Chain A
Amino acid sequence: MSVIDLGGGVSWVHESFPETNGHIHVSVYLVDAPEGAILMDSGSFHHRQRLADRIHDATAGRGIGAIILSHSDYPHSGNIPAFRRDWGDFEIIASCGDPDLQGLPYARRTKIGDVTEVLGRRFVVLDPPLADRNHTTWVYDEASRTLFVADGFGALHAPGASHVDWGRLPEEGRAEGVHEFHAQTLPWLRYADPDRVMGALHAMLEQHPPAWIAPIHGPPIAEPDIPRYMADLSNALTRIAASYPAQTPE
């Protein structure tokens, strides 16, 4: 199983985990930078060996030179120590108030709003409207116009469709996969005003127009498919909010 080329030096290293109502991606991305390969998140320990083998092949044995971490949650950060044993004490770029508390004492800290250079490639660090942990960041790769995101923008998929980008998933069940993913992953959406969340997302996409949205927990979304994904997401947020009516009248 190899990696999938998204163009612009970005490739998708897809891994999935079976859930009750579908499979969830717990993927990573490789980005070719002038000074080495950057891994976006490290994946779950559950997929460690397969990820390591595929990264080894995709980088012709050189391995990775840096990891940009979306957040410290274990399925995203779980392979950092093992990969550092494999490929040396490469740089970890992470956003958090206190790296020690997140188990990342060696991380280089970034902040929302930074433009940061990693192995000679520029990334814009963004404030994610769809996250679980407060220290989560999304990054926009200017060279390829790829927006790397966790945990939002995911989608469950049917077994067997783990290598297919979002726009090519069968239409039947596709919108439901967007709904199901966000309902289970971001419990706070029960309180959300869908218009405020969608407004923040639209503003971000306008300012940083992606050729690809590259989620950790879903298939990549190509530029022509983004409007359809956003419509499905908007419906999903509305459904989630409606399923938790306020407990007392306003």
Chain B
Amino acid sequence: MNEPGSDTETPPAAAPMPAARTGAGWRRDVWPGIHWIQELGGHRAGIARAVLESGADWYKPGNELYVPQNAYLLTGERTLLWDTLSPASGHILLPALEALLGDRPLDYLALSHPDVPHAGNTMQVLRRYPQCQLVAPAVGETHALYHLDDAMKVGPEDEIDLGGLRVRFPEATFLDAAIHTWMSEETTRTLFTVDWMGFPHQSGESLRRTDEIDTVVDVGRLEEFHSRVMFWFQYVHPHKVTAATDALAVQFAGYGLAPAHGLPIPGEDAAPYYERMNEVVRRVAAGGRGGVL
């Protein structure tokens, strides 16, 4: 999967974005053995305006505001790439992979879901690392419509031992596409929450964990993201969503959170985020969606 509709015989021709928009790149060891590759996308002027109007104090006017895409490379004795960024960022992902892997092969490419901003460089990665095993969520009915029919399918019963790191594939509790999985890494105790627990960040905060920035990630900041991406919070019984969130807080107590569209949250700081998300749901259910991402 590259840009929508590209097929294996037509390499994508996504133009590199201007350097100012792609300053993030990658970093080693956001946690031991977990490397982080980030695509910023462009400045989100509309969200920046909404943030300023809300009176939030975490955003400094004039800063660029980003809703990023994250991919994570896990390196045990074997290696696994989790997601691939959007089709606009093959020029970030592939050099980052080459720098992080060196002479090592990429053993697995695991897709959280076949959404364009997550799976956008799948074909390029598989062409660059032809021995790599494609891993896809087992759940869902239409894998063949995404070129995923031949992938190794994983679900909550499965574990991949990377040698030093062990990944599992818990059910995606909050999701968009039906073909979808979350992932956990059990030695570092990290939960990869894909489209959930995202939030915008600003200039100077790219490739930082939440414990490495000076600003707070409060309910309003989480709401800016989820009131757009989880637009369907406006149609829910909030108590059903908060019950599912509370269950996650128990099941993954102490786990760090590594979202696809926010900054990673260390495990010792994660607990209050679940309650913040419950407040986000109540607000969106009462007030409606915030717009479109």
Contacts and interface: CB of A to CB of B under 8 A. Distances in A.
A72 B180 CA distance: 16
A248 B178 contact: no
Q: From DSSP, what is the main secondary structure of chain B's interface residues?
A: loop
B69 A101 contact: yes
Interface string A143-183: 00000000000000000000000000000000000000000
B88 A74 contact: no
Contact of B231 (A74, A134, A248): A134
Main secondary structure of the interface of A (DSSP, over half): loop
B170 interface: no
Contact of B246 (A73, A104, A247): A247
B5 A81 contact: yes
Given A72-B4, A247-B244, A101 B117 contact: yes
Contacts of A76: 4
Interface in B250-278: none
A19 B176 CA distance: 20
A200 B235 contact: yes
Interface in B228-248: 228-232, 234-237, 239-241, 243-244, 246-247
B6 interface: yes
Interface of B: 1-7, 10, 12, 14-15, 17, 41-42, 44, 46, 69, 86-88, 114-117, 120, 140-142, 144-147, 172, 174-178, 180, 228-232, 234-237, 239-241, 243-244, 246-247, 289, 291-293
Given A103-B2, A135-B293, 5 more contacts: A24-B141, A78-B4, A191-B236, A192-B232, A248-B243
Please provide the 8 A-B residue pairs with the shortest distance between their CB atoms, ordered closest to farther: A77-B4, A103-B3, A103-B87, A247-B243, A78-B5, A100-B88, A101-B86, A191-B236
17 contacts: A17-B145, A45-B7, A74-B5, A74-B146, A95-B292, A96-B293, A97-B46, A100-B14, A101-B116, A103-B6, A103-B120, A184-B140, A184-B178, A185-B178, A244-B240, A247-B244, A248-B246
